[in-house]
A = this chain, B = another copy of it.
Amino acid sequence: MAEAGSGSLTVVGLGPGEAHWLTPAAQAAIDAATDLIGYGPYLDRIPERDGQTKHASDNRVEIDRAGHALRLAAEGRNVAVVSGGDPGVFAMAAAVFEALEAGDPAWLSLPITVEPGITAMLASAARAGAPLGGDFCAISLSDNLKPWEVVTARLEAVLKADFVICLYNPISKARPWQLRAALELATRHREAQTPVIFARAVGRPDENLRILTLAEALEAAASADMATLVTIGASSTKLIPRPGEAAPWVYTPRSVTKSPSATSQGRT
């Protein structure tokens, strides 16, 4: 049994599914932990071993999970909180620091480490080609934690300024219409032919990558789910057709030649 006060907390990114995208540092953090805390499906990816306890939880109680992790670490356990992808991108790291700030001041002395991971937008981009070749942004479409007007104001800003846009948490049973609304907003600023990528479960056996036009994506919005990362191309994003059955490559050239005013006008 570890001595009280000797505990630690590591927030670990597992990457998007395949062990071959798990960094050695993340693997070492998992190996060193006495306790693993996370959403059940993420914990299921980690083989059981003696001396290590798994604490599975529901996906929607991040703050409770973070508090539980901090309490265990304060009791002297070596705790790893696991997230899919990168823990700092719409995952557990922010919840841990929220719980730290609101919690027992003694927790502030705990050694806390965040181990980065391959986030879904990087994995999805790699599979498609190089869609993030220019400036880009990441927006969570979930309005559980922010008003929908904030989401649309942000979308509008980055559509006008011609960023490539990655949408996390695009849709769920409780939020069925937001992705279509976001894509409709996009049609006011981007051509109907703009490439859109629906990347589902990248790195898992059921991986599915769809290269669509914005017009097609609008019709297909209901087929996305919480495991889908949606990338909307910039005005310069283009396709390179390939011979045979292969999907085209998608890439965004590094150079921008058009003036900002050419992209800051709505198309209504």
Which residues of A pack against B, CB within 8 Å?
15, 18-25, 28, 62, 86-90, 93-98, 100-101, 108-109, 112, 114-119, 122-123, 125-127, 129-140, 145-147, 149-150, 153-154, 156-158, 160-163, 240-243, 249, 251-257, 259-260, 264
Chain A interface, >50% SS class: mixed
Closest chain-B Cβ to A197's Cβ sits at a distance in Å of 12
A249: chain B residues at CB < 8 Å are 97, 100, 112
A243: chain B residues at CB < 8 Å are 108-109
| A146 nearest CB neighbor, chain B only | B256
| A89 nearest CB neighbor, chain B only | B132
Say whether B122 contacts A135, CB under 8 Å. no
A251: chain B residues at CB < 8 Å are 93-94, 97-98, 101
A89: chain B residues at CB < 8 Å are 122, 132
A138 to B243, CA, bound (A): 33
What are the 3 tightest A-B residue pairs by CB atom distance, in nearest-first order? A94-B133, A146-B256, A137-B137
Closest chain-B Cβ to A204's Cβ sits at a distance in Å of 14
| Residue from B22, B122, B130, B162 within 8 A of A97 (CB atoms) | B130
| Residue from B95, B123, B149, B252 within 8 A of A94 (CB atoms) | B252
Say whether A153 contacts B260, CB under 8 Å. yes
Q: A114-B126, A153-B260, A254-B94 are in contact. Are A138 and B140 (CB under 8 A)?
A: no
A115 to B203, CA, bound (A): 12
